[in-house]
Structures are given as C-alpha cells and as structure tokens.
Structure 1
Amino acid sequence: MKKSTLLHAELSYLVATLGHTDEVTICDAGLPVPDQVQRIDLALTHGVPGFIETVCTLLSESQIEGVVMAEEFQQVSPALHQSLMGLLQEEQARMGREIAVTYLSHEAFKQRTHQSRAVVRTGECTPYANVIFQAGVVF
C-alpha cells in the first residue's frame, strides 16, 4: 500500500505525470468542466471533500510555481480565499521560492480551465472556490 498522503489512484497518476507548467484545476461542486479535459470527481455530498483539504493533499504531493484564481473568489468568499493564501504562504516558506499568484475574471478563469490537464471537482459549495495550480519543478 502507498505510504504517502495521496491515495486516490487517478490523482496520484496525474501528479506523477505532470510536467513543468502543466495546469490542474481544483474546483467547487458547481464549476463547469470542459468536455475535453479529464474530470476527476471527488464530490460525495455538500462540502465533502472540502476545497482546502483537497488543496492540502495536492500540495503535499506536487510542486507548484503559480496559481490562478478568479477575482470574485477574493471578493465574495474572503475567508476561504484567505485560508488558501495562508497555505500558499506556508508552501512558499517550505520551498524557499515564491509562488506567482494571478487573478482573472471568473469568465476568463473558466476559459483557462480548458488548458488544464485535469479538473478535480470537490464537494465544496462556497462560491468561487476554484484554483488552477501551475506545476513547477523540484530542482
């Protein structure tokens, strides 16, 4: 049995096959998933699994160098946005590198998800709880 944090087979495979600058979207239960992008659906019920716990699990297994979020996330759901920003600050401290943060309109964000290798759907029901991770390298 796998010893590390991430046990979900599809997510584990995704992380293991990411290349530099590949993008992965982690989203709430309502974000539309483009037909041509792999959907990894984790949603069980409202709030399960949550956005933050899904982000934490992916951060434990993958190197990121950038994130993209909708401007509306910061405005409409400030508490959850601040929780994500705190996790990113902790990750920056662990890595010793800065993580670039970019904001787009929600409409532009949805279009950007078309470039993702996969969209990971959570059970989160907080408006605009979506983030795109851009893969980095460990060297």
Structure 2
Amino acid sequence: MLKNIPKILSPELLKVLAEMGHGDTLVLADGNFPSETNGQRVVRADGHGVPELLDAILELFPLDITYSKYPVGLMEVVKGDPTVPEIWAEYKKILAKHSPTEPNIEYIERFEFYDRAKKAYAVVATGEGAIYANMLLTKGVVQ
C-alpha cells in the first residue's frame, strides 16, 4: 500500500505514467473513442470519467509547459456539429488547479487526433459519456 496515491489510479495506469518520459503523450479517451483501434497501449478505466481521472493524474504527472507549445490537446468539434462541449470548462478548471501557468490548449481535428493517438505512449479508455471529451496530455519534466 502506498500513501498519497489517488485511489482512482489503477496499478496499470500508475505503471504507464511512471514509464513515460519527457515529451511522451497520453490520451484520455471518452467512451466513444476507438481506443483499441488507435492505441498502441490501452489502459482500461471503465466506469470513470475523464475529469476525475485528469485531476488524479495531474497530482503525479507534470505537463510540459516549458518545451511544448501545446501540452494539452482537445479533439475539436467536427465542422457543422452544433455540439458545445461543456466538459472543456471543467478541464480548464482542473488544469488551472494543477499548473503554475495556464497551459496552452490545442484544438485538434478529429482524424488528426486519431493519428496522434496512434503515436501516443498510451490511451486511457474511460467510461466518459460527454461528447468531444478526448484529451491529449504531453508529459513534462519532474522538477
């Protein structure tokens, strides 16, 4: 048993986070994302939403706010889709809570996001039901 590790983080996810190096990327995928198709490593987090996982992960995971122009990426809304992703405001609050400076967020076209997910170190497949809740995080350096 370890102290101060958020209980929502599984041993498998903790291992992946520890293995990742500076510049590696992690995808937090909503329930609709084709995780198995696009992930070279897939960590299951069924039953959990992206916001609570993001909050827990950022307790341990430094974002690359120094060397990456966009340490955070979100899948942008497809042109013509009237959806307004309300979950993005929640993400911004969580990011602000864990970052000394507000990280720049890149909005990534859907198929470009899939391509980046294929190159990511891992995809965390969640049970998140919100639309356009997919997020890409770039790992920074522990100081």
Range class of TM-score, shorter chain:
0.7 to 0.9
Residue 81 (str. 1) matches residue 88 (str. 2): yes
**Change beyond 3 A, Cα 1:28–1:136:** same
* Partner residue, 1:38: 41
What is the distance in 2 between the residues matched to 1:131 and 1:90? 17
Q: Structure 1 length normalisation: TM-score?
A: 0.85
| Aligned-CA RMSD value | 1.8
**1:31-110 alignment to 2 at 5 Å?**
31-33=33-35, 34=37, 37-43=40-46, 48-65=47-64, 66-72=71-77, 76-92=83-99, 96-110=100-114
Structure 1: where are the runs of 5+ without partners?
Answer: none
1:77–1:41: structure 2 CA closer, same or farther, 3 Å change rule? farther
Identity of aligned residues (%): 26
1:96-135 mapped onto 2 (5 Å cutoff): 96-135=100-139
Shift of 1:89: 1.6
Where in structure 1 do 4 or more consecutive aligned residues deviate above 3 Å? none
Q: Tell me by how many angstroms 1:100 deviates.
A: 2.8
Could you list the runs of 5+ residues in structure 2 that have no partner in the other structure? Answer: 65-70
Please give the secondary structure, in 2, of the residue aligned with 1:119. Answer: strand
Partner of 1:27: 29
Instruction: Tell me which residue corresponds to 1:5.
Output: 6
Distance in 1 (CA, whole Å) between partners of 2:38 and 2:90 is: 30
Q: Whole-Å Cα distance in 2 between the matches of residues 18 and 26 of structure 1?
A: 15
Provide the C-alpha distance between the structure 2 equivalents of 1:30 and 1:111, rounded to a whole number of angstroms: 16
* The structure with more helix, counted as a fraction of residues: 1
- Displacement of 1:98 in angstroms is 4.4
Q: Per-residue displacement from partner, 1:96-121 (whole Å, max 9, x unpaired)?
A: 34423111111211111011111001
Distance 1:130 1:35, change over 3 A: closer
CA distance in 2, matches of 1:135, 1:36: 17
How many residue pairs get matched?
Answer: 131
Counterpart of 1:111 in 2: which secondary structure?
helix
The one-character-per-residue Cα deviations of 1:44-90 (angstroms, maximum 9, x if unpaired) are xxxx21111111111111111211111219x7243211100111122
